[in-house]
Structure 1
Amino acid sequence: MNETVSYPAELVDRVDGVTVSFPDFPGVQAWGADEKEALRNGAEALQTAVWNALNDGMILPEPSEPRERPVVSVMF
């Protein structure tokens, strides 16, 4: 398959960097020294979560509204 899905991300500044999570995929989180690295690492974590969900026969959740949050796109 060569389809793309996009999900909004939530960024939280921490003392030691930035944490990114995905409200539509509870438990999927990543960290980076800055926002750019956090989003890059978050994309990898999200892609793994999407692949795992599809391999388990699950239907991917509908993306929630971005509401001024960054959006991360991954291919599957």
Structure 2
Amino acid sequence: MKDTYTFPALFEIADDGIFIFFPDLPGCLPSAATMEEAFKNAKEALQLQLYGMEEDDEEIPASSSPIKIKQNPGQVLVMIDAWMPPFREKMLNKSMNKTVTIPRWLDILARKEKVNYSHLLQTSLKQYLGVEDSSSKHFSV
């Protein structure tokens, strides 16, 4: 797992927006309305694609040389960088919704006491697992 990846992207500029293609990552297809948004969306989409591949233990392909990529009229070739450590940390700290089941009588008591279920569950899980913070140092991605 690398910290930095750089992949070529083709920005296809059309009347109705900018469509982005990563030749090495066929499923990564962001789009945008402006060039500024295109760079932002391309970077975010690349990070999401790479993170998902890492999570699924998929092999991340080598980046193609920009010289070998054919451009069609209306396309611009750009290189997009993905700095993964802060993105991985962001994804690990992303809130997740979980459905839990408790007896109705317990829910009634908890609501009377204005219990914050999310806070209580997080605190209890941290205590149960013996962790003090949400740092990714406790496990590997």
Q: TM-score w.r.t. structure 2 length?
A: 0.50
Gapped regions of structure 2 (runs ≥ 5)? 68-75, 85-141
Distance (Å, rounded) in 2 between the aligned partners of 1:70 and 1:13: 13
Residues 1:29 and 2:37 are matched in the alignment:
no
Partner of 1:62: 62
The superposition leaves residues 36-61 of structure 1 with CA deviations (integer Å, 9 ceiling, x where unpaired) of 21121011111000000011111210
The superposition leaves residues 9-44 of structure 1 with CA deviations (integer Å, 9 ceiling, x where unpaired) of 001011111111101100211111122211210111
Larger radius of gyration: 2
For 1:1-76, list aligned pairs within 5 A: 3-67=3-67, 69-76=77-84
Distance (Å, rounded) in 2 between the aligned partners of 1:51 and 1:15: 32
Percent identical pairs in the alignment equals 30
**What secondary structure is seen at the aligned counterpart in 2 of 1:44?**
helix
Q: TM-score w.r.t. structure 1 length?
A: 0.88
What stretches of structure 1 move > 3 A for 4+ residues in a row?
A: none
Task: Specify the code of the residue in structure 1 equivalent to 2:20.
Answer: V
Distance (Å, rounded) in 2 between the aligned partners of 1:23 and 1:16: 22
Gapped regions of structure 1 (runs ≥ 5)? none
Higher helix share: 2
Partner of 2:95: none
> How far 1:2 sits from its partner (Å)?
7.1
Distance (Å, rounded) in 1 between the aligned partners of 2:79 and 2:2: 19
Q: Which has the higher contact order (CA 8 A, sep 6+)?
A: 1
Distance (Å, rounded) in 2 between the aligned partners of 1:37 and 1:2: 26
